[in-house]
Structure 1
Amino acid sequence: MQHLDLDFVRQQFPMFQTELGQKIGFLDNAGGSYVAGAVIDRLTDFYTNYKVQPYGANPISNRAGEAMELGRRTMAELLNVSADLITLGASSTQCFNTLSIACTPLVAKGRSAAAGEVIVSEQDHESNIGGWERLCQQQGATLKIWPVDPESGELALEDLEKLLSNKTAIVAVTHSSNIIGTINPINEIAALVHGVNAKLVVDGVSYAPHAWPNLDVLDADAYVFSTYKTYGTHLGVMVVREDFLQELAPQCHFFNMPYPNKRLDSAGPDHAAIAALAGIGDYFAALHDHHFAGKKGLPLHRKARAVAALMNQHENELCAYLLENLNDLPVRIFGRKTIEQREANIALSSPKISSKALADGLAEYDIAAKNGHFYAYRLLQAMGVADMNDGVLRISLSHYNSLEEVERCVAGLRAMLG
Structure 2
Amino acid sequence: MKVLDIDFIRQQFPVFQTELGQKVGFLDNAGGSYVAGAVIDRLTDFYTNYKVQPYGANPISNQAGEAMDEGRSTMAALLNVPMERVTLGASSTQNFNTLTIACTPLVQKDTEVIVTEQDHESNIGGWERLCQRQGATLTFWKVNPETGELDLEDLEKLLSPRTVILCVTHSSNIIGTINPINRIARLARQNNTRLVVDGVSYAPHSWPNLDELDVDAYVFSTYKTYGTHQGVMVVKESFLEELEPQCHFFNVPYPYKQLDAAGPDHAAIAALAGIGDYFSTVYEHNFGSSGEVPLHEKARVVSALMHQHETELSAYLLDHLKDLPVRIYGRSTSDGREANIALASPKVPAKALADGLVAYDVAAKNGHFYAYRLLETMGVKDLNDGVLRISLSHYNTREEVERCVKGLGELLYQLEF
Q: Distance in 1 between matches of 2:263 and 2:111?
A: 30
Instruction: Check if 1:72 corresponds to 2:72.
Output: yes
Deviation at 1:162, TM superposition (A): 1.1
Amino acid at match of 2:398: L
Q: Distance in 1 between matches of 2:28 and 2:115?
A: 26
Aligned match of 1:402? 397
Cα deviation per residue 1:147-166 (whole Å; 9 max; x = unaligned)? Answer: 00000000000111111100
Q: Distance in 1 between matches of 2:180 and 2:23?
A: 38
Write out aligned runs for 1:53-92 (5 A): 53-92=53-92
Please tell me whether the aligned partners of residues 235 and 269 of structure 1 are also in contact (alpha carbons under 8 angstroms): no
Deviation at 1:283, TM superposition (A): 0.2
Please tell me whether the aligned partners of residues 174 and 184 of structure 1 are also in contact (alpha carbons under 8 angstroms): yes
SS in structure 2 of the partner of residue 225 of structure 1: strand
Q: Distance in 2 between matches of 1:340 and 1:246?
A: 39
1:341 paired residue among 333, 336, 341: 336
Write out aligned runs for 1:195-214 (5 A): 195-214=190-209
Deviation at 1:416, TM superposition (A): 1.4
1:351 paired residue among 346, 355, 365: 346
Cα deviation per residue 1:331-387 (whole Å; 9 max; x = unaligned)? Answer: 000000001100000000001110000001111100000000000000000000000
Please tell me whether the aligned partners of residues 289 and 296 of structure 1 are also in contact (alpha carbons under 8 angstroms): no
Deviation at 1:268, TM superposition (A): 2.5
Q: Distance in 2 between matches of 1:267 and 1:211?
A: 29
Instruction: Check if 1:136 corresponds to 2:131.
Output: yes
Please tell me whether the aligned partners of residues 15 and 34 of structure 1 are also in contact (alpha carbons under 8 angstroms): yes
Amino acid at match of 2:365: K
Instruction: Check if 1:29 corresponds to 2:29.
Output: yes
Q: Distance in 1 between matches of 2:388 and 2:230?
A: 26
1:158 paired residue among 141, 145, 153: 153
Cα deviation per residue 1:292-345 (whole Å; 9 max; x = unaligned)? Answer: 115443000000000000000000000000000001111000000001100000
1:360 paired residue among 351, 355, 360: 355
SS in structure 1 of the partner of residue 341 of structure 2: strand
Identity score, percent = 76
SS in structure 2 of the partner of residue 330 of structure 1: coil
Q: Distance in 2 between matches of 1:53 and 1:295?
A: 35
Deviation at 1:116, TM superposition (A): 1.5
Q: Which moved more, 1:216-225 or 1:290-299?
A: 290-299
Write out aligned runs for 1:239-254 (5 A): 239-254=234-249
Amino acid at match of 1:284: F
Instruction: Check if 1:43 corresponds to 2:43.
Output: yes
**Structure 2 spans left out of the alignment, 5+ residues:** none
Amino acid at match of 1:146: W
Q: Distance in 1 between matches of 2:58 and 2:84?
A: 26
Amino acid at match of 2:42: R
Q: Distance in 1 between matches of 2:265 and 2:72?
A: 13
Amino acid at match of 2:190: G
SS in structure 2 of the partner of residue 371 of structure 1: strand
Instruction: Check if 1:385 corresponds to 2:385.
Output: no
Cα deviation per residue 1:200-224 (whole Å; 9 max; x = unaligned)? Answer: 0000000000001000000010000
Q: Distance in 2 between matches of 1:11 and 1:4?
A: 13
Aligned match of 1:281? 276
After superposition, the Cα gap between the structure-2 partners of 1:245 and 1:80, relative to the gap in structure 1 and judged at 3 Å, is same
Deviation at 1:74, TM superposition (A): 0.1
Q: Distance in 2 between matches of 1:350 and 1:148?
A: 22
Cα deviation per residue 1:87-127 (whole Å; 9 max; x = unaligned)? Answer: 0000000000000000000011x3xxxx2200000000000
TM-score by length of 2: 0.98
Aligned match of 2:120? 125
Please tell me whether the aligned partners of residues 227 and 233 of structure 1 are also in contact (alpha carbons under 8 angstroms): yes
Instruction: Check if 1:375 corresponds to 2:370.
Output: yes
Aligned match of 1:14? 14
Deviation at 1:269, TM superposition (A): 2.3
TM-score by length of 1: 0.98
Amino acid at match of 1:88: L
Aligned match of 2:166? 171
Aligned match of 2:184? 189
Instruction: Check if 1:303 corresponds to 2:298.
Output: yes
Instruction: Check if 1:101 corresponds to 2:122.
Output: no
Q: Distance in 2 between matches of 1:243 and 1:195?
A: 17
Q: Distance in 2 between matches of 1:334 and 1:305?
A: 28
Amino acid at match of 1:97: N
SS in structure 2 of the partner of residue 104 of structure 1: coil
Please tell me whether the aligned partners of residues 373 and 392 of structure 1 are also in contact (alpha carbons under 8 angstroms): yes
Aligned match of 2:319? 324
Aligned match of 1:263? 258
Cα deviation per residue 1:239-282 (whole Å; 9 max; x = unaligned)? Answer: 00000000000001001111111111111221000000000000
Please tell me whether the aligned partners of residues 205 and 224 of structure 1 are also in contact (alpha carbons under 8 angstroms): yes
Aligned match of 2:232? 237
SS in structure 2 of the partner of residue 239 of structure 1: strand
**Structure 1 spans left out of the alignment, 5+ residues:** none
Q: Distance in 1 between matches of 2:291 and 2:176?
A: 33
Q: Distance in 2 between matches of 1:416 and 1:367?
A: 13
Amino acid at match of 1:351: P
Deviation at 1:417, TM superposition (A): 2.0
Moved over 6 A (4+): none
